[in-house]
């Protein structure tokens, strides 16, 4: 079953959401309207909350998780993803905060307490270390991720195009087309 409760925590699913049958959504997870979760993705809100904003897409094989408070960490780290975000294939997004209209490249890794402000493009394979903030309007590459240059107007427009494309695609899946 793709959508599962954990203890007393139950996923909350918005309107017109697509969750592929091979994906798994567990526990304290909130998916906004028009979110799409693609094949073999795992979204596990078992020890902290995960909130995903409207129109965001989580592409194939991505892992979204959180951290708990305990002996080695005073506080847990929930995961918050804004609206219109594209999470690329095989990304690992862990206990961080991602603003609106960002792109997380294929195979990128974002660690606990990291922050991506609005309109950030994170390149494929990039690593965002714990606690690092990526400022709005830049392309970041590498491990650790570093700003390379400001985004062009065309790239900013692409960030919005990307999430809108995935809304149209998931609507086709929901319609059985």
Going from the N-terminus, what domains does the chain have, and what CATH number goes with each? 3-175 (2.160.10.10)
Closest CA to 6 of 58, 55, 68, 60: 68
Query: Is a pLDDT exceeding 70 seen at residue 150?
Result: yes
Predicted local distance difference test score (pLDDT) of residue 15: 98
Q: Could you read off the pLDDT of 89-119 as tens digits, one per residue?
A: 999 999 999 999 999 999 999 999 999 999 9
**Could you read off the pLDDT of 50-61 as tens digits, one per residue?**
999 999 999 999
pLDDT digits (tens, 9 = 90+) for 125-136: 999 999 999 999
pTM summary value:
0.96
- CA–chain centroid gap for 148, Å, is 22
Judged by phi (left if over 0) then psi (alpha if -120 to 50, else beta), residue 71 lies in alpha
pLDDT of residue 74: 83
**pLDDT value, residue 1:** 66
Average pLDDT, the chain: 97
Q: pLDDT at position 177, please?
A: 80
pLDDT in tens, 158-174: 999 999 999 999 999 99
Contacts of 175 (CB under 8 A, 6+ apart): none
């Amino acid at each position: 079953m793709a959508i599962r409760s954990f203890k007393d925590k139950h996923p909350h699913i918005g309107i017109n959401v697509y969750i592929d049958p091979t994906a798994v959504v567990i526990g304290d997870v909130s998916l906004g309207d028009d979110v799409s979760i693609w094949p073999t993705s795992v979204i596990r809100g078992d020890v902290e909350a995960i909130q995903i904003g409207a129109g965001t897409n989580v592409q194939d094989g991505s892992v979204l998780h959180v951290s708990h408070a305990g002996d080695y960490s005073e506080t847990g780290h929930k995961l918050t993803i804004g609206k219109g975000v594209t999470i690329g294939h095989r990304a690992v997004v862990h206990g961080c905060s991602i603003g609106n209209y960002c792109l997380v490249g294929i195979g990128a890794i974002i660690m606990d307490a990291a922050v991506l402000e609005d309109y950030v493009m994170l390149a494929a394979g990039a690593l965002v270390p714990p606690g690092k903030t990526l400022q709005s309007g830049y392309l970041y590459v590498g491990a650790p991720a570093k700003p390379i240059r400001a985004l062009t107007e065309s790239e900013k427009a692409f960030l919005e195009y990307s999430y809108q494309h995935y809304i149209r695609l998931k609507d086709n899946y929901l319609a059985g087309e």
